[in-house]
Amino acid sequence: MARYRDSVCRLCRREGTKLFLKGDRCFSEKCAIERRAYPPGMHGQGRVRFSDYGVQLREKQKVKRMYGLLEKQFKKTFVRAASMKGRSGENLLVLLERRLDNVIFRMGYATSRAEARQLVKHGHFQVDGKKVKSPSLLVKPGMSVSLREKSQKVQRVIGALETLEGRSVPQWLEMDKDEKVGTVKQLPVREDITLPIDEQLIVELYSR
């Protein structure tokens, strides 16, 4: 399976915004965007002008990298969103937010989506009492997400939960930090997604 192995901070600089790929580092002065707010490479500080297509492409790349999906996965998610009732762009964001790896990150079990995805693949979590290993699982209202009994002392999770107070849990989720159990109260809506995303640009790109 394809995997990005270069510095993830380069991705943030390339997109010109924080993608929150590096956990707590993104909230510190060490963040690459704070130190060098221009694209990487020898021409990074030059003046860059994008066509309409370029603007749409950059928005799609930003969201894809933010949620950690490959191109094929992202397009498949968009096709599903377009087939649903309502606005395709909003449907896309809701589907991305409902992914298990994102939910685990939002609940505070991990400091980044990449870390959450790895924890799921290693079998540390269970949904409604059943062990899961699929980061792309879409959660539904009423589902509970908890650490398996054998994983209660995983230091990466304990460390992430200790810093949860510095991050906010979305209203559509509920987290009991002491019991290490999270609950999906309802499906997210567009207002719950506060990331700097213009989903209409992605719709326009795929509509070409």
The helix (H) or strand (E) run that includes residue 25 is none
Is 150 part of any domain? yes
Our count of domains for the chain comes to 1
Among residues 203, 201, 206, which one has the least CA distance to residue 59?
201
- Rounded to the nearest integer, the mean pLDDT of the chain is 84
Q: Are 130 and 120 in contact (CB under 8 A)?
A: no
- Give the pLDDT confidence score for residue 16 in this predicted structure: 59
Is 144 part of any domain? yes
* DSSP string for residues in 14-52: HHTS----SGGGGGSTT-HHHH--S-SSTTTTS-----H
Is 29 part of any domain? no
* Rounded Cα distance, 188 and 191, in Å: 8
Is 141 part of any domain? yes
Say which amino acid occupies 105.
F
Is 178 part of any domain? yes
Is 120 part of any domain? yes
100-135 pLDDT tens trace:
999 999 999 998 898 999 999 999 999 999 999 999
Is 167 part of any domain? yes
* 198 CB-contact burial (10 Å; exposed 0-12 / middle 13-18 / buried 19+): middle
* Rounded Cα distance, 45 and 25, in Å: 23
Specify the higher pLDDT residue, 130 or 33: 130
For residue 111, give the CATH number of its domain: 3.10.290.10
- Give the pLDDT confidence score for residue 4 in this predicted structure: 57
Q: Is the pLDDT of residue 42 over 60?
A: no
Is 68 part of any domain? no
Q: Which domain holds residue 171?
A: 100-187
- pTM of the predicted model, to two decimals? 0.83
Among residues 208, 202, 172, 204, which one has the least CA distance to residue 67?
202
